[in-house]
Amino acid sequence: MADNRIKRDQETREKTVATRHWEQPDILPQPDPQPGYQFRWIRIATLGDTDARNISSRIREGWEPCKASDHPEITMVVVESERFKDNIVIGGLMLCKMPEEMVLQRKAHFEQMTKNQMDAVDNNLMRENDPRMPIFNDRKSSVTFGKG
């Protein structure tokens, strides 16, 4: 009777490794994380037209354009504009970074703006309230568990 098993010393790791599966790549590559910074892609052009208003507004907010030399992990860099030739620009978007503390301050500012707008809507709604036909404006939710 013939033994058709492979001897242990002839067995290789390549034969036991699971096959890799194809995954769709991200349209915009993510840079390697840097402590203390957050990254964001900022629009610099739409349909080939430079969006100077958006660029200047984001730079005034505190976003700094990232240099291509600082991020060698992003290999597919397309220079679309001579103005941003040293930066990472893909599809009309430029990679920028901002210190995390500024990102948190920016987030808190917009959360406060949203709260103020919601308060204004609530106040306007409650001004129209009539005791004969009350408007219920309850935005709280609760979780209950079944008895058993």
Q: What is the DSSP letter of 87?
A: B
Sign, CA torsion 13/17/23/29: negative
Q: Is there a contact between 26 and 78 (Cβ–Cβ < 8 Å)?
A: no
- List pLDDT tens digits, range 17-57: 667 777 777 778 888 888 999 999 999 888 878 888 999 99
pLDDT at 17: 62
Mean pLDDT of 70-74: 82
Of 8 and 120, more confident = 120
pLDDT surpassing 70 at residue 138 = no
Mean pLDDT of 46-74: 87
The count of other CB atoms within 10 Å of the CB of residue 60 is 8
- Return d(Cα 73, Cα 30) in angstroms, integer: 9
